[in-house]
Amino acid sequence: MILAAQTNEGLAQLSNELVYASMAVYTLAFLAHIAEWVLGSRSKVGRTAAALTGTKTEAAPATVTVRVKQAGGGTAVIEKPKVVTRSAAGTRDVPDGPGAAGGTVKGDLYGRIAVSLTVLAFALEAAGVIARAISVQRAPWGNMYEFSTTFSTVAVGTYLGFLLAKKNVRWIGLPLVTTVLLDLGLATTWLYTESDQLVPALDSYWLWIHVSTAIFCGAVFYLGAVATLLYLFRDSYENKLATGGKPGAFARSVMERLPSAASLDKFSYRVNAAIFPLWTFTIIAGAIWAGDAWGRYWGWDAKEVWSFITWVGYAAYLHARATAGWKGRKAAYIALIAFGCFLFNYYGVNIFVSSKHSYAGV
């Protein structure tokens, strides 16, 4: 029976220490990122202005490497055709910025250090989450403390996954590490709950399915929201340049190093769109679980309502992108509102609203 699975105090203690250790390392990673941004600013980057105001060149040719396997083994050297790409109508042809390091060697060094530290902190935090899970012999998301630690672990893990897949995402590093520190700070002080068993209502295999996908969706939506926010900044910057405005030195230094508005927009769309089906699944899985636990699969409980609002918000975002006059900035605002609803659903509903989901203490 469940009671036999006593919580393992030693492991729970170890888990706490690992989480604290990861916070220390995240702090170092944060400092390294700052160093990267500061040192990177020495270089002069002004490609955006050039692209916007200079003579309009036909789009930059993007050579795509294609390797062709020959029947006899080995790859043949063939003269590859160059594929010329053109941005879609209505977007500017602006090259991506060089990243936080700004193309400087020193900045890049600190950037690499920051990423390595993030990897280490991630490993520590993940170990902490796993130790907690073993100590209670269940999924490590039975209360808000566990939800928060798992959430930031997954967010960082997703980011590192993007890096591993050679995506151009290092610009997320600083905002991500900053918010992870905030999240962990909140978790270890306000939300801390001793490791323990679950109340019967949570004791179901649906906990594994529903909550794990919810956490993963949240982490990915978060990355999407960061990209959306940066898109808005970068887009205003480009607009300003395009209309002959003169942005301040600081804005210039930061914005020049980000990817172009078009790239950021594309990134946030792809991230949000890719995770939307999983979010749909999360809600449906939750409904099935509610059907088993409470006798109705949909009862307009506060948590259900806000999941639904979040879902409709993202659906509106996807629609906006397909609606003339709503693409671009307006769609981006919708995406941010939708993410705000997700956050409210997590913190707001658990803390301020009485809901069937307010379980396990805060």
Interface residues for another protein in 23-62 (CB under 8 A)? 58, 61-62
Do the beta carbons of residue 93 and residue 87 sit within 8 Å? Answer: yes
Pick from another protein, ligand HEM, none: which does 245 bind, CB < 5 to 8 A by kind?
Answer: none
Q: How far is the CB of 323 from another protein (least distance, A)?
A: 4
Q: Is 309 in the site for ligand HEM (CB under 6 A)?
A: no
Do the beta carbons of residue 278 and residue 213 sit within 8 Å? Answer: yes
**What residues from 269 to 328 belong to the interface with another protein (CB under 8 A)?**
269-270, 273-274, 276-277, 280-281, 284, 287-289, 291-302, 305-306, 308-309, 312-313, 315-316, 318-320, 322-328
Do the beta carbons of residue 114 and residue 27 sit within 8 Å? Answer: no
Question: Which pair of structure tokens corresponds to residue 108?
Answer: 């890049």
Pick from another protein, ligand HEM, none: which does 236 bind, CB < 5 to 8 A by kind?
Answer: none
Pick from another protein, ligand HEM, none: which does 88 bind, CB < 5 to 8 A by kind?
Answer: another protein
Q: Which residues contact 38 (CB under 8 A, 6 or more apart)?
A: none
Task: Please work out the total of residues on this chain that contact ligand HEM, with binding judged by CB under 6 A.
Answer: 4
Estimate to the nearest angstrom the gap between the alpha carbon of 80 and the chain centroid.
36
Question: How many Cβ atoms sit within 10 Å of the Cβ of residue 305?
Answer: 16
146-183 residues labelled b (16+ CB within 10 A) or e (exposed) = bbbbbbbbbbbebbbebbeeeeebbbbbbbbbeebbeb
CA distances from 158 to 26, 142, 161, 163, 227 (A): 16, 22, 5, 9, 14
Query: What's the rounded Cα separation, in Å, for the pair 158 and 127?
Result: 16
Q: How far is the CB of 274 from ligand HEM (least distance, A)?
A: 11
Nearer to another protein by Cβ, of 105 and 324: the residue is 324
Q: Which stretch binds another protein (CB under 8 A): 113-121, 194-202, 226-234, 249-257?
A: 194-202
The single-letter DSSP state of residue 248 is -
Nearer to another protein by Cβ, of 102 and 286: the residue is 286
Q: How far is the CB of 121 from another protein (least distance, A)?
A: 29
Question: How many Cβ atoms sit within 10 Å of the Cβ of residue 238?
Answer: 21
Query: What's the rounded Cα separation, in Å, for the pair 207 and 292?
Result: 12
Q: Which stretch binds another protein (CB under 8 A): 48-56, 76-84, 149-157, 251-259?
A: 76-84
Backbone phi, psi, residue 62, to 5°: -110, 110
Site string for ligand HEM, 81-120 (x = CB under 6 A): ----------------------------------------
**What residues from 199 to 238 belong to the interface with another protein (CB under 8 A)?**
199-201, 203-204, 206
Query: What's the rounded Cα separation, in Å, for the pair 57 and 60?
Result: 8
Q: How far is the CB of 322 from ligand HEM (least distance, A)?
A: 3
Nearer to ligand HEM by Cβ, of 201 and 315: the residue is 315
**What residues from 331 to 360 belong to the interface with another protein (CB under 8 A)?**
341, 349, 353-355
Q: Is 315 in the site for ligand HEM (CB under 6 A)?
A: yes
Nearer to ligand HEM by Cβ, of 127 and 315: the residue is 315
Pick from another protein, ligand HEM, none: which does 90 bind, CB < 5 to 8 A by kind?
Answer: another protein
Nearer to ligand HEM by Cβ, of 24 and 312: the residue is 312
Query: What's the rounded Cα separation, in Å, for the pair 155 and 162?
Result: 11
Q: Is 74 in the site for another protein (CB under 8 A)?
A: no
* Nearest by Cα to 95 from 136, 36, 57, 51: 51
The binding site for ligand HEM (CB under 6 A) comprises 315, 318-319, 322
